[in-house]
């Protein structure tokens, strides 16, 4: 009876935590542990494997974004996005001149934006289902008899719809391709494993700190309209865990003198990562709320989709890269 009572208490406690955090914590922890193992193994074994892991995750993330936009009748040219993004990442990594990696990244993102914007204006037969979804949505908004329903020709609405497709496509380029290029760039510098640990794990540590502090102490809502689960206490937890993480990585990466010399910079980086990571979560939440979605996808158990897992990482990657380049870490 005591064992049954204990199990019931634990189950009730877990249900309360799941309700407060908005996710299945057991699944989230197990999935997170598996992802950590895959990332660490690929980084330690060979950075080229990690590069292709990044490419795979980014391609899945772009697909999720394409499906999410399709639910509201917006199309983005996924094949063009895949081709240009993969070409950009490979060029960043394999360009022979070390000082040219950042330039190649900038050129690749600009070319990707140009090509994707152009392709998104082309009307293709496989987009008919998206157009039918738009027509159905518009008809639902019309009240009255069936005779009042709109039987429009989508070609007549091509200009405003086309601009919408272009805007969404450019958003995909910036949100995924551009920000993810800052995950590839550290692979071309000194201490690539340490820098990738910072980019991948510091935002994740911030998420963990936010979940723990938010679940245990969260009372003051940070942005109830955008994300009711986020709290001020969760933000403080994110900052604390990010600072501890960056100090630990710095301690095992640099010699004592170099670590002491850059200790303040590392702490400042941790604070910025904690804040920016939460901002990335809020941006993703706002995007999902506008599209009427709970999760970007359903690939990762307990986390939703790939974009749900990497939203804070994408936002934090440029910040960490700027710190590394500006202060010579």
User: For position 216, what pLDDT does the model report?
Assistant: 74
User: For position 18, what pLDDT does the model report?
Assistant: 52
What is the crossing angle of helices 192-217 and 25-45, to 10°?
170
Mean pLDDT of 115-143: 61
* Residue 283 and residue 260 in contact, taking contact as beta carbons nearer than 8 Å: no
CA distance linking residue 227 with residue 231, whole number of Å: 9
**Closest-CA residue to 105 (of 115, 93, 114):** 93
- Model pTM score: 0.75
User: For position 87, what pLDDT does the model report?
Assistant: 95
* Residue 182 and residue 92 in contact, taking contact as beta carbons nearer than 8 Å: no
Tell me the per-residue pLDDT of 136-156, one tens digit each, with 9 for 90 and over.
544 554 444 444 444 444 444
User: For position 67, what pLDDT does the model report?
Assistant: 85
H helix runs in the chain, sequence order: 2-21, 25-45, 47-70, 78-94, 101-119, 128-140, 158-172, 179-184, 192-217, 232-253, 256-261, 263-291, 306-327
How would residue 200 be classed by pLDDT, with cut points 50, 70 and 90? confident
User: For position 138, what pLDDT does the model report?
Assistant: 43
User: For position 26, what pLDDT does the model report?
Assistant: 57
User: For position 81, what pLDDT does the model report?
Assistant: 94
User: For position 146, what pLDDT does the model report?
Assistant: 47
Of the given ranges (93-102, 116-125, 213-222, 249-258), which has the lowest mean pLDDT?
213-222
User: For position 278, what pLDDT does the model report?
Assistant: 84
Of 206 and 152, which is predicted with more confidence?
206
Tell me the per-residue pLDDT of 1-42, one tens digit each, with 9 for 90 and over.
445 565 555 565 555 555 555 555 556 666 667 777 777 787
CA distance linking residue 75 with residue 58, whole number of Å: 18
Tell me the per-residue pLDDT of 208-239, one tens digit each, with 9 for 90 and over.
888 787 777 767 777 666 666 777 778 888 89
User: In a 3-state reduction of DSSP, which class is residue 219?
Assistant: coil
User: For position 285, what pLDDT does the model report?
Assistant: 77
Across the chain, mean pLDDT equals: 77
CA distance linking residue 63 with residue 131, whole number of Å: 19
CA distance linking residue 91 with residue 95, whole number of Å: 6
Mean pLDDT of 117-130: 68
**Closest-CA residue to 56 (of 321, 299, 283):** 299
Provide the residue ranges of all domains of the chain, joining segments of one domain with +.
47-188, 190-329
* Residue 146 and residue 54 in contact, taking contact as beta carbons nearer than 8 Å: no
Find how far residue 21's CA is from the centre of its chain.
18
Of 219 and 167, which is predicted with more confidence?
167
Q: Is the pLDDT of residue 115 over 90?
A: yes
- Return the bridge partners of 221, or none: 231
**Closest-CA residue to 207 (of 177, 230, 175):** 230
Residues 6 or more apart in contact with residue 134 via CB below 8 angstroms: 73, 154, 161
Of the given ranges (1-15, 165-179, 281-295), which has the lowest mean pLDDT?
1-15
User: For position 20, what pLDDT does the model report?
Assistant: 55
Mean pLDDT of 245-274: 88
User: For position 143, what pLDDT does the model report?
Assistant: 46
Mean pLDDT of 159-169: 75
CA distance linking residue 146 with residue 210, whole number of Å: 51
Rg over alpha carbons for the chain, rounded to the nearest Å, is: 22
As a whole-number percent, the residues of the chain with pLDDT over 70 amount to: 70
């Amino acid at each position: 009876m005591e064992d049954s009572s204990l199990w019931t208490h634990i189950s009730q406690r877990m249900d309360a935590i799941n309700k407060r955090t908005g996710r299945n914590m057991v699944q989230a922890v197990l999935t997170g542990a598996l992802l950590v193992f895959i990332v660490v193994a690929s980084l330690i074994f060979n950075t080229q494997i990690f590069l292709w892991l990044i490419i795979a995750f980014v391609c899945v993330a772009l697909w999720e974004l394409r499906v999410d936009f399709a639910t509201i009748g917006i199309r983005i040219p996924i094949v063009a996005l895949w081709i240009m993004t993969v070409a950009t990442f490979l060029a960043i990594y394999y360009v022979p001149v070390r000082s040219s990696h950042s330039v190649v990244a900038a050129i690749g993102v600009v070319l990707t934006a140009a090509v994707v914007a152009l392709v998104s204006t082309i009307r293709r037969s496989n987009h008919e289902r998206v157009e039918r979804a738009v027509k159905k949505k518009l008809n639902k908004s019309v009240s009255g008899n069936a005779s009042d329903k709109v039987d429009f020709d989508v070609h007549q609405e091509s200009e405003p719809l086309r601009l919408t497709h272009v805007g969404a496509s450019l958003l995909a380029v910036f949100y995924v391709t551009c920000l993810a290029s800052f995950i590839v760039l550290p692979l071309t510098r000194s201490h690539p494993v340490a820098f990738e640990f910072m980019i991948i794990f510091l935002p994740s540590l911030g998420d963990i700190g936010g979940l723990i502090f938010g679940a245990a102490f969260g009372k003051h809502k940070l942005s109830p309209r955008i994300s009711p689960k986020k709290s001020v206490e969760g933000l403080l937890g994110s900052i604390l865990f990010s600072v501890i993480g960056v100090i630990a990585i710095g301690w095992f990466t640099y010699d004592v003198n170099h670590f002491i010399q850059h200790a303040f910079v590392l702490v400042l980086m941790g604070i910025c990562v904690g804040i920016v990571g939460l901002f990335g979560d809020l941006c993703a939440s706002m995007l999902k709320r506008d599209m009427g979605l709970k999760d970007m996808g359903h690939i990762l158990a307990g986390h939703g989709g790939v974009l749900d897992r990497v939203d804070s990482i994408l936002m934090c990657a440029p910040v960490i890269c700027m710190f590394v380049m500006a202060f010579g870490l």
